[in-house]
Chain A
Amino acid sequence: AQKITQTQPGMFVQEKEAVTLDCTYDTSDPSYGLFWYKQPSSGEMIFLIYQGSYDQQNATEGRYSLNFQKARKSANLVISASQLGDSAMYFCAMRERFFGNEKLTFGTGTRLTIIP
């Protein structure tokens, strides 16, 4: 089974609209973390936002918010008031810790295109 599933290979959104990128996950680790990264066409990986499994409130960072629904095992990224510079690949990732070690597993990504 996939640990991280991103079901939207690509999305087109009008500038200034809000956009939701879907992410579901699967883990038996009670203490895990969820991340979103942005990869623009230049190729670098940019950390956007983090949500811990025990966090009571949804994480927010500027125009980014994470809609965390623990029972449904979903961690959707919401971008408000989209901008042309938001066009990029977006990856959801999950951190699991085990035996004192940890690793991040990534989804396959969603390519977001903002239309002027």
Chain B
Amino acid sequence: DAGITQSPRHKVTETGTPVTLRCHQTENHRYMYWYRQDPGHGLRLIHYSYGVKDTDKGEVSDGYSVSRSKTEDFLLTLESATSSQTSVYFCAISESETRDTGELFFGEGSRLTVL
């Protein structure tokens, strides 16, 4: 199994406060992703990274920023949280360097509530 952990797993915060979610992998894989999951929308890509300091936007990137200063860590930051960012956030990694299928392996998710 891919070694991928997310922290925190649960967080409640207030509107306007900054929030950072951390994704850590032990597998040294190149690709890392942040998705959010909301009822009726499935999983939507926020940002992804294809290497250290190489990141790009997904379909719902407004209000989010990311950083990847080390291969193993991919941080998602909400600069000023809003209630619309209440969601479950999933980090994922891809083994596509070694497996042609390129399926994603997911962390356990981080449930964020913005009051």
Interfacial residues, chain A to chain B (CB-CB below 8 A): 6, 33, 35, 43-45, 47, 50, 52, 91, 93, 95, 100-109
Contacts and interface: CB of A to CB of B under 8 A. Distances in A.
Interface string B92-115: 101010001111111011000000
Contacts of A103: 33, 45, 48, 58
Contacts of A100: 50
Interface stretch (B11-19, B35-43, B67-75): B35-43
B33 to A, nearest CB: 7
A103 B90 CA distance: 14
A109 B42 CA distance: 6
A107 to B, nearest CB: 5
A45 B42 contact: no
Interface of chain B, main secondary structure:
strand
Contacts of A109: 42
B56 interface: yes
Contacts of B56: 101
Size category of the B interface is 20 to 34
B7 to A, nearest CB: 16
A44 B106 contact: yes
22 contacts: A6-B42, A33-B101, A33-B102, A43-B108, A43-B109, A44-B108, A45-B106, A50-B101, A50-B103, A52-B101, A101-B48, A102-B31, A102-B94, A103-B33, A103-B58, A104-B92, A104-B102, A105-B59, A106-B35, A108-B41, A108-B42, A109-B42
B105 A47 contact: yes
A29 B67 CA distance: 28
